[in-house]
Homo-oligomer: A and B are copies of this chain.
């Protein structure tokens, strides 16, 4: 078994806000992250898959094909968009990095070829914070 990771990049706006709470409570809990006019990030996304290398190619999976899958089912839905407003698979959820990593996992887990399994989604929100989700 080997693990192959492809790193991709996207930019997005979001805010942290619980609609069931008052503005004051949101400010108290989320601080600057609750700014009503949004803020945003450059996100680094690490997608790790696992399986056996194909004896005819030496590849677990062609990294360019993995990149195309990530582009089609993740980046086109997130890049240069607003995570709270524009993203179908995040509707009704808080846009924390934790929930976004889980959402990305759900976008990809059933779309890999049968020879590979999704192992980990790692999502870096700032140079000091990242989240990992293993399903």
Contacts and interface: CB of A to CB of B under 8 A. Distances in A.
A91 interface: no
Contacts of A96: 53, 57-59
Nearest to A53: B98
Contact of A9 (B39, B127, B130): B127
Interface residues of A, number: 63
Nearest to A14: B40
A115 interface: no
B4 A98 contact: yes
A37 interface: yes
Oligomeric state, in copies: 6
Contacts of A97: 4
Contacts of A42: 41-42, 126-127
Contacts of A80: 31-33, 35, 39
Interface of A: 1-9, 11-14, 16, 18, 20, 29-33, 35, 37-42, 48, 53, 56-60, 62-64, 67, 79-82, 85-86, 93-99, 101-102, 126-134
